[in-house]
Structure 1
Amino acid sequence: TGEVGLVVKDTRGASAVAKVTLDVLPTNPPSITITGPVEGRRYYTDVPLLFTAQVSDPESDPEALSVRWESDVQGELAIDAPSPSGNIEGEVYLSEANHIITVRAEDPQGNTDTDSIFLEVGGPNSPPTCTFDAPEVDTVVESGEVVLLEGTVDDADVGPEGLAVAFTSSIDGELGTATPNSDGSVLLGADDLSTGTHTLSLVATDDAGTTCTASSAVRIAEPPFVRIDSPSPAEEFNDGDTINFAGTATDNEDPNDTLTVSWTSSLDGEFNTSPPDSSGNVAASQLLSVGDHEVRLVVTDSDGMQRSSLTTVKVLPCEYFYDGDGDGFGDPTTGLPTCEPPVGYVLDGTDCDDSDRDAYPGADEYCDGHDDDCDGTTDEYDAIDATQWWTDADGDGFGDPATVQTACTQPSGAISVGNDCDDSDRDINPGAEEVCGDGVDDDCDGADLPCILNIPLATTDVQLIGESAQDEVGTAVAAVGDLNGDGLDDVLVGAPYDDIDAIDAGTAYMVFGGLTGSLDLSGADARLIGESSSDNAGLSVAGAGDVNNDGYNDVLVGAWYDDATATDAGVAYLLLGPFSGDIDLGDSDYLLTGDNAEDYAGAGLAMVGDWDGDGHSDLAIGAYEEDTGDTNAGMTYLISGASIASGTLSSVSFATFSGERSDDQAGRSVSAAGDVDGDGQPDLLIAAPPEDTGGNASGSVYLVLGPTTGGDIDLRYAEAQLYGEGDNHFAGRQTAGPGDLDGDGYDDIVIGADGEDSVDSGNGAVYLWRGPVPSGTRSLSGADTKFVGQSGLDYIGRSVSSGGDINNDGFTDLVMGGTGDDYGDIDAGGGFVVLGPFSSGTLSKNDFYARLYAESTDDKAGYSIAGDFDFNGDGWDDVLVGVPGDDAGGTNAGAAYITFGATSW
């Protein structure tokens, strides 16, 4: 607020002043909102997209605003300027790509506002296809009946379930809509169709408005009318009387005298087929046998439609029989010629025992030594309480199912158990023990049990034993390549509860290749020692490749609970090879620390290839309870190998990936995915095991395609989200990129879900998804191969890794851990080897090749696992299994075991 004054002076120096007070206010920015198209739908290159928005400004008319539309793929889009009411709309064709569309509004004072949407644009739209399957052309249907309309639809873009389907009639108009099933079938019941010939049509419309139509012709017709007029129901006649029947048979479409007529008796069968006269009168005369007759008149028109009318007549006999036991059947020796029987006489004189009311023709036969059903045979095979018997030719106590017979008494050589699958071999029966791998179904369960090679870890080639009780060596293990330049691969083993420098400070042990036999890890080639109490260094370990390109591989060690930045902020230590001896992790070459309290940085560790194209390996570090996306949503940081420096992860990273929702814990596990989409660039897997898309804590794994331009990326924009199949599956407990397993030019991925429960609670599973992985949000039920635990609480998938080529057959193998496997003892656990190539479908532990098992309760072998390394330089890849509960060095001192690859695998 201020004053503006005007001073006027005349030639004599006199003056006058005029003042005005002005309030000068800042201008407000415009506001713009995109109202169409909507996100989450599929769009096509050959169908224009209608872009709409609403813009306004407190000080300016919408027409005075400058509005610019841009695609991050196509650049500026030509869309009309705002209308006087602020409406904006215009159609634009977009190229095949994922587009981020941004609209920017600017007022005359330079104030701006923007809005953005994300659109997925596929190739040209493929029109839907449809067929009309039923009813067939020229089908005739009776008026009033429900007509089932059936068809098949499909669409190459959205599949059958993405189509809108409607049925119409040329007479009755629209009949209704139907939702296609996954196989494309559609079904609609149409009732109350008008009489006449209908052209029935199926119309399918895709998401772009393209349609297909299929038709059939159906005639709706009226059935004939029929009625028996005489005799009256239940009218009685004497044996030998001619009975005159009369009725009415008419049709609205056929001449009455062309109708087909049939008179039938329930006792004597058909007895007349004379057609009606032109007025619809129909008649028949007939002698019927003695008894109670149901007489039916059936009339059929030219369309095959029938109607019937029913009446009853009684023809009285001239002979009755005395029924002494009251069972409805008389003594055949007591016949009385009369048509008016005395009390106690009945028409049927076929009783075989008129003193027993339970014995008569048609009675149930029992194994009681009596002819109950009057068929002349006592205790025959069809007796109600007869027993089934089977011949036991091999004498093993189980009979041949093909030899079943029923009898009241046991036949010679027969027994009462009949489920033998081979009655020529007494060693094969349901009670026998299955012998694996013999090609014989020994226990008759329908399959021969394949043999899994069981190897006790205590007998493997290298045993790395924890120094002290409660160290829990093997909580994490990694094959880290050649750190000391001797040509042999080396391994890194985490002991997060080791107390060398402080209680639970933790240690990671480096062991150089070439060792055989047992080693107390106090004699490891290098000990990487945690800085402070309860840091738990070694909860995660990983190879870092050769970050500084000096010809020696480097390593990463995670201490999730390190407090250097803030309480439990966590840290990832990077140590450049070569090195040896005792090293305080505080003296590491680089310290990459979490930003905030309880970020738990260093949980996920991976070398992920060269994402920024500078010729150096880059690193991915997970901080699974970082809060940028939401509380405990998690964050994964990408760090350039060429420009790496110590500092907080936010300050040294060139890209970040934030979790979608609260408590997703994205970054709990990270791994290099290889090149999944075949574009020559490395890709990344980020796991969020407690994520809830597929159910409570079903878990999800996000596939991020490289390279990235940097900045913070919400994981909802990842190329693919692969979620667990049910509650508490914890998909993503560990992930791996084993390379191109099937040689199709695309790398493949594996995902562990140790809570999967398709067999029993906690049997666990590992999913193999072959590249290229389809984009979008998808259930792991769509994986190419699923490896499942055989029993509840096996927890297969707690760890997973490429196995390299263990048996040197030219195919990549997989290794996976199951901490709850009970082969060696309760929860002793084991590491499992599955040899490639891998078939599709579901495979169980019976399909695995080898089990590397621990032998004591709660050893939890397989808590961690690593493969694809050659420790002894023999050209065969080896397997490293972590056993944190192993007691060889003291209670829960832990151990890690290396098994060399060989031809015997």
Structure 2
Amino acid sequence: YVLVPLCLLNMLLALAGCSGDSAPAPTTSPASGSQSTAAGQAPNAATATPAPPEPPAKTAAASSQTPIQGTGRPQHFRFSSKLEGSGIDFVQLSGNAPEKPFPAANGTGCGILDVDQDGRPDVYFACGAKFPLRPTARGPLDRLYRNLGSWKFQDVSAAAGIGKPGYSCGIAVGDLNSDGFDDVYVTRFGPNQCWISQGDGTYIEQASELGIDSPEWGTSAAIADLNDDGLADIYVCNYGQWTWDTNQFCGDPVRGIRMFCSPTHVPPQPDILYQNSGSGFTDASEVVGIRGNSGRGQGVLVADVDGDTQADIYVANDIHPNFLFVGENGRFVEIGEVSGTAFDHLGRAQAGMGLATADIDRNGTLDLFVTNYQAEHNALYSNLGKRAFLEVGLSVVPEGSLPWVGWGTSLTDFDLDGWPDLIVTNGHTDDTLAELGREGEYAQPAALWKNDGGRFVLSGPAGDYFQSPHVGRGLATADFDLDGDMDVVICHQDAAPALLSNETPDPQQLARHVTLRLIGRRSHRGAIPATLQLQVQPVQTAILHAGGSYLSSSQPIAVLTASEADAEKLPPVQIRWPDGSETTVDGLSTGRAYTILQSSDGTQEPLLYLIP
């Protein structure tokens, strides 16, 4: 490989050029077992009945599994809040109201991007709106914050030109036109938006012009090259068919106390795959084989799940079997049920929300993690190879999920020991639980687990944020302070976000890491879904993926860690690029960050840029 200066790298980059339903799970979300009247109709005992209480068995199970965030557990992690004084003054609007408009239950997310290509991760927050939606209504808009360094951020929303009235849901980030700048795709309740970077810190909304302004209720989305033609495509999860005029009454009709209706009240909508032609996009859902599937999609991630270097798509569905679309030469085959990734260990569809993937047990294959509803354990699908998985959530993550409603999540090596750890943000959908006499808490604590050799151990106190309950939704990870470990931003319902600095690794641990950013040339420049493996025993795997978490997008970098405490160089790193080519990079200095530029034909040694 060749180490090149920044000016030459920039010049090269410029040349290299955004089924049917199954039976519902025992506990549903947002509200289980609710009976309802027609929207707008006055509730009475003749037309509506109260929602039943949670079954006692589930209540007992939840109570016995409540995480203890205080004494008695080792403090595996340390995070400190950096929101105060950061300049981030965003407050999310969910749209929650006495009428319980369904989209308000699901909330919004955020995305990590680099607006000005200065190497510091910036943040885009999606904002909801009040129902019924009005095109001319004034209210909070999406916000974009530029990272100035030292945990200071500047609101550049107006200067960048982003934000229009409406209900934004999810954020996907990627380079849609291969110009070297991050574009932003925003899913919405209503036509989606696409903000194309102009390369000067400003954006122009071009969803309609590009043919990607889907009018459905979009949730999560992912940007990646899905047919290996070097162009970035878009996968969009759609939830279901809901309108203000058809909003139903669920809850206690006698007292007139409402709660959000079950997802089974919302007919599902099919997802969409937009294929990039270079001059625009076309809806290729039917052509590539995903059109016949509808499942109230909430989370999506794109990664090389089966190890054949082709992009695969995993979708978390609400009270519906999850989808696993494996790539086969530009088309996709849905194998969720036959692969073992559609249901829990008892064959039940769950309320899939957030997604994460990593090689949890360091056997060289990617495992899948899904957050679920209260009294449903978070599911973990262990990759057995040959497109077969085993759901092992209750044994590998034995405590800390049953009492809570999980949303955004990430499998990230927070302590830099070479094993991916786990974080989940929690929060109920209903703020009327106490009034209705139902089990559960609206605000709930986020949870952290340490990966102890392939099994997760619930952590003790990790900082003030984890000691208090919150109503979490979206979550993203990024190295905001450029110190080598991953930090966290979490979105909350009708509240300010959390901005958490990871202070877990000590200086010696930080000195052992290497941060890698990949740029494809023969592959799309985003290099998703590349796989990097550190040649040690057991093998250490890092990946680049699109989507993941819940309604959010994290910083697309890979972090690898040397096993020896005093290692000055990383062992050889094997890179499998999305086009199928492989590269081995040796001699990377620890404690440093690199950009790796794929050779134009995929066979030559890559160019390396050492980031100061």
Q: TM-score, normalised by structure 1?
A: 0.38
Report if aligned partners of 1:731, 1:753 keep a CA contact under 8 Å in 2: yes
Name the count of aligned residue pairs.
398
SS at match of 2:369: strand
Among candidates 725, 735, 739, match of residue 355 of structure 2: 735
Counterpart in the other structure of 1:707: 328
| CA pair 747-856 structure 1, distance change in 2 beyond 3 A | closer
Q: Output aligned runs, 1:556-571, within 5 Å.
A: 556-560=185-189, 562=190, 570-571=191-192
Q: Output aligned runs, 1:267-346, within 5 Å.
A: none
Among candidates 258, 267, 270, match of residue 635 of structure 1: 270
**Alpha-carbon separation, structure 1, partners of 2:367 and 2:322:** 14
Equivalent AA in structure 1 for residue 490 of structure 2? V
**Alpha-carbon separation, structure 2, partners of 1:799 and 1:654:** 31
**Alpha-carbon separation, structure 2, partners of 1:716 and 1:742:** 22
**Alpha-carbon separation, structure 1, partners of 2:494 and 2:109:** 14
**Alpha-carbon separation, structure 2, partners of 1:492 and 1:605:** 14
Q: Output aligned runs, 1:800-811, within 5 Å.
A: 800-803=409-412, 805-811=413-419
Counterpart in the other structure of 1:623: 238
**Alpha-carbon separation, structure 2, partners of 1:592 and 1:742:** 39
Report if aligned partners of 2:233, 2:273 keep a CA contact under 8 Å in 1: yes
**Alpha-carbon separation, structure 2, partners of 1:435 and 1:898:** 17
**Alpha-carbon separation, structure 2, partners of 1:677 and 1:637:** 22
- TM superposition shift of 1:705: 1.4
- TM superposition shift of 1:726: 7.2
- TM superposition shift of 1:828: 3.5
Counterpart in the other structure of 1:167: none
- 1:650 counterpart = 2:277: no
Counterpart in the other structure of 2:3: none
Among candidates 499, 505, 514, match of residue 148 of structure 2: 514
Equivalent AA in structure 2 for residue 665 of structure 1? G
Equivalent AA in structure 2 for residue 863 of structure 1? R
- TM superposition shift of 1:703: 1.7
| CA pair 679-557 structure 1, distance change in 2 beyond 3 A | same
**Alpha-carbon separation, structure 1, partners of 2:497 and 2:290:** 35
- 1:466 counterpart = 2:90: yes
Counterpart in the other structure of 2:365: 746
Equivalent AA in structure 1 for residue 314 of structure 2? L
- 1:723 counterpart = 2:332: no
**Alpha-carbon separation, structure 1, partners of 2:453 and 2:372:** 19
- 1:814 counterpart = 2:422: yes
| CA pair 835-807 structure 1, distance change in 2 beyond 3 A | same
Larger RCO of the pair (alpha carbons < 8 Å, separation 6+): 2
Counterpart in the other structure of 2:397: 786
- TM superposition shift of 1:723: 0.8
**Alpha-carbon separation, structure 2, partners of 1:899 and 1:577:** 31
Among candidates 297, 301, 306, match of residue 671 of structure 1: 301
Equivalent AA in structure 2 for residue 606 of structure 1? A
| CA pair 594-547 structure 1, distance change in 2 beyond 3 A | closer
Equivalent AA in structure 1 for residue 222 of structure 2? A
Equivalent AA in structure 1 for residue 88 of structure 2? L
User: Which has more helix, going by share of residues?
Assistant: 2
**Alpha-carbon separation, structure 1, partners of 2:79 and 2:279:** 43
Counterpart in the other structure of 1:686: 315
- 1:536 counterpart = 2:170: no
| CA pair 572-732 structure 1, distance change in 2 beyond 3 A | farther
Report if aligned partners of 2:235, 2:272 keep a CA contact under 8 Å in 1: yes
Larger radius of gyration: 1
Equivalent AA in structure 2 for residue 807 of structure 1? D
- TM superposition shift of 1:817: 0.7
- TM superposition shift of 1:848: 6.0
- TM superposition shift of 1:879: 0.8
SS at match of 2:142: strand
| CA pair 790-551 structure 1, distance change in 2 beyond 3 A | closer
User: Which has more strand, going by share of residues?
Assistant: 1
SS at match of 2:143: strand
Counterpart in the other structure of 1:594: 214
Counterpart in the other structure of 2:120: 488
**Alpha-carbon separation, structure 2, partners of 1:900 and 1:734:** 21
Q: TM-score, normalised by structure 2?
A: 0.54
| CA pair 715-736 structure 1, distance change in 2 beyond 3 A | same
Q: Output aligned runs, 1:823-838, within 5 Å.
A: 827-838=442-453
In structure 2, stretches of 5+ residues that fail to align are: 1-67, 97-103, 243-265, 432-439, 510-612
| CA pair 878-641 structure 1, distance change in 2 beyond 3 A | farther
Among candidates 208, 228, 231, match of residue 613 of structure 1: 228
Among candidates 478, 484, 509, match of residue 875 of structure 1: 484
Q: Output aligned runs, 1:325-404, within 5 Å.
A: none
Identity %: 18
Report if aligned partners of 1:720, 1:774 keep a CA contact under 8 Å in 2: no
Counterpart in the other structure of 2:512: none
Counterpart in the other structure of 1:891: none
Equivalent AA in structure 2 for residue 604 of structure 1? S
Counterpart in the other structure of 2:183: 554
**Alpha-carbon separation, structure 2, partners of 1:709 and 1:772:** 25
1:506-558 deviations in Å (ceiling 9; x for gaps): 63322233345576858677462125xxx302x11122x32322222222111
Counterpart in the other structure of 1:232: none
**Alpha-carbon separation, structure 1, partners of 2:349 and 2:123:** 30
SS at match of 1:807: coil
Report if aligned partners of 1:622, 1:668 keep a CA contact under 8 Å in 2: yes
1:66-97 deviations in Å (ceiling 9; x for gaps): xxxxxxxxxxxxxxxxxxxxxxxxxxxxxxxx
- TM superposition shift of 1:637: 2.5
- TM superposition shift of 1:690: 1.4
1:820-861 deviations in Å (ceiling 9; x for gaps): 599xx9644343333335533xx57x446736637887x41x
Report if aligned partners of 2:318, 2:350 keep a CA contact under 8 Å in 1: yes
Report if aligned partners of 1:815, 1:831 keep a CA contact under 8 Å in 2: yes
Report if aligned partners of 1:555, 1:577 keep a CA contact under 8 Å in 2: no
SS at match of 2:148: coil
Give the RMSD, CA atoms, in angstroms.
4.5
In structure 1, stretches of 5+ residues that fail to align are: 1-433, 438-447, 563-569, 692-699, 758-763, 887-893
Among candidates 494, 500, 505, match of residue 903 of structure 1: 505
- TM superposition shift of 1:482: 2.5
- 1:503 counterpart = 2:112: no
Equivalent AA in structure 2 for residue 575 of structure 1? I
Equivalent AA in structure 2 for residue 548 of structure 1? N
| CA pair 865-606 structure 1, distance change in 2 beyond 3 A | same
Counterpart in the other structure of 2:535: none
**Alpha-carbon separation, structure 1, partners of 2:300 and 2:153:** 30
Equivalent AA in structure 1 for residue 273 of structure 2? L
**Alpha-carbon separation, structure 1, partners of 2:449 and 2:418:** 14
Counterpart in the other structure of 1:863: 473
- TM superposition shift of 1:460: 7.0
Counterpart in the other structure of 1:477: 109
- TM superposition shift of 1:781: 4.7
| CA pair 884-716 structure 1, distance change in 2 beyond 3 A | closer
**Alpha-carbon separation, structure 2, partners of 1:675 and 1:634:** 26
| CA pair 850-644 structure 1, distance change in 2 beyond 3 A | farther
**Alpha-carbon separation, structure 1, partners of 2:286 and 2:278:** 9
| CA pair 656-516 structure 1, distance change in 2 beyond 3 A | farther
Report if aligned partners of 1:808, 1:876 keep a CA contact under 8 Å in 2: yes
**Alpha-carbon separation, structure 2, partners of 1:644 and 1:836:** 45
| CA pair 613-808 structure 1, distance change in 2 beyond 3 A | same
SS at match of 1:606: strand
**Alpha-carbon separation, structure 1, partners of 2:236 and 2:69:** 48
**Alpha-carbon separation, structure 2, partners of 1:753 and 1:786:** 13
